[in-house]
């Protein structure tokens, strides 16, 4: 091989000049040994076509790098999206926990009030939040304690007129009168839901209950008018289906 021939020539020249073996730490020999080693490696690479393979590997590595970069960018975007989703889930969970805590506090308040009436002008949970007092009033309603529930909802509307639950409070106040057969009072309160909170989801139910109140009061024409309005204005709703059933009942009764 060329490398061996080169090394032999150099050694021969060195031998002629020095006329004796070079010491092991001769810098020339050390350098020549390094060159020999490097040349052997290069020849081996050429013989095995490793340079071609290396080039292919480099290209493949670059492509893989591009793919990884794309994935990293996608993960970065996904991470941002996931972060937003996690924040929304946390907020939803926090809200649900607060509602559960309010419900527990409300039930405790109702238990304390058990057997007692709610003093006029007093919230069921004095000093409590709008959420707490609404839930306490609703717990009274579920416990069928209609008079305290009515007082609680009335005071809630006075204390928290701008609450997002005000429309519901007004509706359930009307309901306490309806279930206790105070139909005139219930009629006025259901009408107030429609007049004061026209965008409320309780409007179809309030209009339906107005029809029921008119029916109980034997105001047949007004009952038919309210029930027909539910069917016309809010089709494909449970309120519309119930209105249709009551109209059918009225027709069968001949009223």
CATH number for the domain including 235?
1.25.40.10
> Does 141 score more than 60 pLDDT?
yes
Q: How far is CA 193 from the centre of its chain?
A: 30
* Minimum mean pLDDT range among 3-17, 140-154, 169-183, 206-220: 3-17
Number of domains in the chain: 1
Q: What is this structure's pTM?
A: 0.58
pLDDT number for residue 202: 97
| Domain-located, residue 219 | yes
Q: How confident is the model at residue 124 (pLDDT cuts 50, 70, 90)?
A: confident
In which domain, by residue range, is 216 found?
Answer: 101-253
* pLDDT > 60? residue 214: yes
Q: Is residue 147, in this structure, part of any structural domain at all?
A: yes
The predicted structure's pLDDT at residue 34? 72
Helix (H, G, I), strand (E, B) or coil at 116: coil
What pLDDT score does 126 carry? 86
Position 172 in a domain: yes
In a domain, 14, yes or no: no
Q: Please report which confidence band the pLDDT of residue 201 belongs to, taking 50, 70 and 90 as the band edges.
A: very high
Is the predicted pLDDT of residue 22 greater than 60, yes or no?
no
In a domain, 61, yes or no: no
pLDDT of 197:
98
On average, the pLDDT of the chain sits at 78
Top-confidence residue, 99 or 187: 187
Asked if the structure places residue 197 within a domain, the reply is: yes
Tell me if 192 sits within 8 A of 166, measured CB to CB: no
Q: Determine, yes or no, domain membership for 168.
A: yes
| 22-26, 104-108, 113-117: least confidently modelled range | 104-108
pLDDT, mean of residues 53-78: 63
Distances in whole angstroms, Cα of residue 32 to Cα of each of 14, 20, 39, 44, 101: 12, 18, 10, 18, 85
Q: What is the pLDDT of residue 108?
A: 45
Q: Is the pLDDT of residue 106 over 60?
A: no
């Amino acid at each position: 091989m060329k490398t061996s021939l080169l090394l032999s020539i150099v050694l021969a020249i060195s031998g002629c000049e020095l006329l004796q073996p070079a010491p092991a730490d001769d810098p020339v020999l050390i350098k020549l040994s390094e060159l020999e080693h490097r040349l052997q490696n290069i020849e081996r690479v050429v013989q095995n076509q490793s340079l071609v393979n290396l080039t292919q590997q480099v290209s493949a590595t670059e492509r893989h790098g591009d793919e990884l970069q794309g994935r990293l960018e996608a993960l970065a975007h996904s991470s941002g999206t996931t972060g937003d989703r996690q924040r929304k889930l946390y907020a939803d969970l926090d809200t649900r926990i607060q509602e559960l805590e309010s419900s527990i506090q409300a039930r405790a308040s109702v238990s304390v009030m058990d057997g007692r009436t709610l003093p006029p002008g007093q919230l069921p949970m004095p000093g409590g939040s709008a959420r707490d007092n609404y839930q306490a009033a609703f717990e009274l309603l579920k416990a069928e304690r209609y008079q305290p529930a009515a007082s609680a909802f009335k005071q809630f509307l006075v204390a928290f007129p701008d609450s997002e639950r005000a429309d519901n409070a007004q509706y359930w106040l009307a309901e306490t009168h309806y279930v206790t057969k105070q139909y005139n009072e219930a009629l006025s309160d259901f009408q107030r839901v429609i007049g004061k909170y026209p965008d409320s989801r309780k409007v179809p139910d309030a209009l339906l209950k107005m029809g029921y109140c008119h029916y109980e009061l034997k105001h047949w024409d007004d009952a038919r008018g309210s029930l027909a309005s539910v069917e016309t204005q809010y089709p494909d709703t449970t309120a519309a289906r119930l209105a249709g059933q009551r109209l059918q009942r009225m027709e069968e009764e001949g009223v």
